[in-house]
Structure 1
Amino acid sequence: MSDLPGTPATGSIPAVAAEQRAVITARGLGVVRDGRQILSDVTLEVRTGEVLALVGPNGAGKTTLLGALSGELDYSAGTVLLDDKRIDDYRPLDLARRRAVLNQANDVSFPFLVREIVAMGRNPWVRTPQFAADDEAIAEAVRTADVAHLVDRRFTALSGGERARVALARVLAQRTEVVFLDEPTAALDLRHQEDVMRASLALARAGRAVVVVLHDLSLAAAYADRVGMITGGTLAAIGTPNEVLTAERVGRAYGLGVRIYHPTPGSRPVILPLRD
């Protein structure tokens, strides 16, 4: 991937901007699906200028929380505000101009070209002044997601990792203030995992708000400004990586002994499972 403005060199994380704004606020959020309580009493803020990573074991409610925060899923209790307005009061088009969502599933039934898929990210801006930036936005997204060599291929002919990067490019082309990414690194090799997180951090440092669901705790620790630990449908902890990702808390959440390793004193934690 090509660097976005503010992308850090390996091992360095630029400071969070001094001025931040809570663009999305969840208060007492609860979600019930098929008669089962998925989320209970979740309260948190999504702030511009930072990356918020949601972590936790399978089935904890991370994807459901991301869906509720982004306005894609209905909630049964509490409220979600986008700039002091209930997110479910926004028209779909207005919401698409405020936030972009990368879901886990990247399936497309029709054999669109990659360039067509990426261009779909610009659909919310048709008949607006931002439409003039389409070519620039698409070119930057293609470059950042490292899919320039794929633009003339059919999406249906791509590998899982290639599809994931094309889907990311579509989200980047949308150019919204808030970006939601659900497991964006799951299908990617080591290099592209790092590239995706560097790009996410660069978006945040450019003033956007980024919420990302991750399974790799060390990756979350390396790039997130704050980490929210979801367990059993509740927000068990939220804070800096060093505050949240302790051996006791991780071990309790995952039912697995871990060692928290700091390469240098005060550095971001690396989480290692204890093995025989």
Structure 2
Amino acid sequence: MIEARDITVLAGRKHLLDGAGARVVPGHVTALIGPNGAGKSTLISVLAGERRPDAGTLLLEGAPLATYPGRALAQRRAVLLQDSALDFAFTAEEVVELGRLPFSGTPEQMDDEAAIAAACGLAGIGAFRHRSYQTLSGGEKQRVQFARSIAQIWRRPGKSQSLPRYLLLDEPTSALDLRHQRMVLDIARRLAGDGVGVLAAIHDLNLAIAYADDVILLREGRVLASGPVDEVMTSAGLGACFEVEVEILTRENGSRAVLV
């Protein structure tokens, strides 16, 4: 498990995070939701070890995150950030290959070809796999970056998984159409079924309520509530987080829908 306790991040005198906590549990999809400026991207960057907090504790399997060498951490967790800009004329496939760099010179390098093929197939980028990344649309670039993160945590089916893996996604559906939004979260659920711990910052509340096991409500850098989706995503809880009236309907099939 990746765990953040009492995390504070300052930008001058402003608290980007103020005593925030979060857990990424293997086998679970955790949705991180909140209004713009709530601190979602900052929290993900802290959990990824890319930003050092001003206060608080970060743990991976109970040990301080800072004690893990960067390469060892990269072999166990992948991060998909909002910014997917590249200055080099890589093909889409070459971008996906970047996810395998942490395994260079290790026995796992033997799985690079299979990992890249599987990631490209899951993300549905086969039609433009050999095109220049710079010529792709925003949504296509996002899917390529998603494939890169899948390749990084991919393991050969049936291979013993002694160490948990993690996938941290910052707005993974923001540039995608409806079909591909569902595709990305279907894959997240599939990976969780294989034991991967997934944390995804999601704006669409209906996607969050449909796909998440757990939810973290974040507002102004503070966690308002966290826990199982049915307990956290209530009319009162979402209303307090977003300062709007929220109604949650239960369909005949038992699924729930959020109306704002």
TM-score with structure 2 length normalisation? 0.93
User: What is the aligned partner in structure 1 of residue 78 from structure 2?
Assistant: 100
Could you give the per-residue CA deviations for residues 51-98 of structure 1, whole angstroms, max 9, x where no partner exists? 011000000111111111111111011100012221123222122112
Residue 70 (structure 2) pairs with residue 59 (structure 1): no
SS at match of 1:218: helix
User: What is the aligned partner in structure 2 of residue 150 from structure 1?
Assistant: 128
User: What is the aligned partner in structure 1 of residue 22 from structure 2?
Assistant: 44
User: What is the aligned partner in structure 1 of residue 202 from structure 2?
Assistant: 214
1:242 and 1:268 in contact (8 A); partners too: no
**Partner amino acid, structure 2, of 1:83:** E
1:100 and 1:179 in contact (8 A); partners too: yes
| Displacement after TM superposition at 1:251 (Å) | 1.6
| Displacement after TM superposition at 1:272 (Å) | 1.1
Could you give the per-residue CA deviations for residues 216-243 of structure 1, whole angstroms, max 9, x where no partner exists? 0110110000011001111111122221
Could you give the per-residue CA deviations for residues 199-218 of structure 1, whole angstroms, max 9, x where no partner exists? 00010110110000000011
The residue correspondences of 1:1-276 to structure 2 (distance < 5 A) are 23-175=1-153, 177-264=165-252, 267-273=254-260
| Displacement after TM superposition at 1:141 (Å) | 0.1
For 2:192 and 2:153, locate their aligned partners in 1 and report how far apart those are by CA, in whole Å. 12
| Displacement after TM superposition at 1:33 (Å) | 2.2
SS at match of 1:109: coil
| Displacement after TM superposition at 1:27 (Å) | 1.5
| Displacement after TM superposition at 1:28 (Å) | 1.4
**Partner amino acid, structure 1, of 2:202:** L
User: What is the aligned partner in structure 1 of residue 162 from structure 2?
Assistant: none
Deviates more, 1:234-243 or 1:207-216: 234-243
For 2:20 and 2:134, locate their aligned partners in 1 and report how far apart those are by CA, in whole Å. 38
1:242 and 1:269 in contact (8 A); partners too: no
| Displacement after TM superposition at 1:268 (Å) | 4.0
Could you give the per-residue CA deviations for residues 24-62 of structure 1, whole angstroms, max 9, x where no partner exists? 121212111233211122233211011011000000111
For 1:152 and 1:65, locate their aligned partners in 2 and report how far apart those are by CA, in whole Å. 34
**Partner amino acid, structure 2, of 1:221:** I
Could you give the per-residue CA deviations for residues 252-271 of structure 1, whole angstroms, max 9, x where no partner exists? 22122121111137x34311
Could you give the per-residue CA deviations for residues 95-131 of structure 1, whole angstroms, max 9, x where no partner exists? 2112100000111111111111111110000000100
1:122 and 1:131 in contact (8 A); partners too: yes
1:51 and 1:200 in contact (8 A); partners too: yes
**Partner amino acid, structure 2, of 1:78:** G
SS at match of 1:236: strand
Q: Structure 1 stretches (4+) deviating beyond 3 angstroms?
A: none
For 2:13 and 2:148, locate their aligned partners in 1 and report how far apart those are by CA, in whole Å. 34
Deviates more, 1:75-84 or 1:34-43: 34-43
For 2:84 and 2:251, locate their aligned partners in 1 and report how far apart those are by CA, in whole Å. 36
How many residues are aligned here?
250
SS at match of 1:238: strand
For 1:128 and 1:54, locate their aligned partners in 2 and report how far apart those are by CA, in whole Å. 34
Identical counterparts, % of pairs: 40
SS at match of 1:48: coil
SS at match of 2:2: strand
1:51 and 1:226 in contact (8 A); partners too: yes
SS at match of 2:27: coil
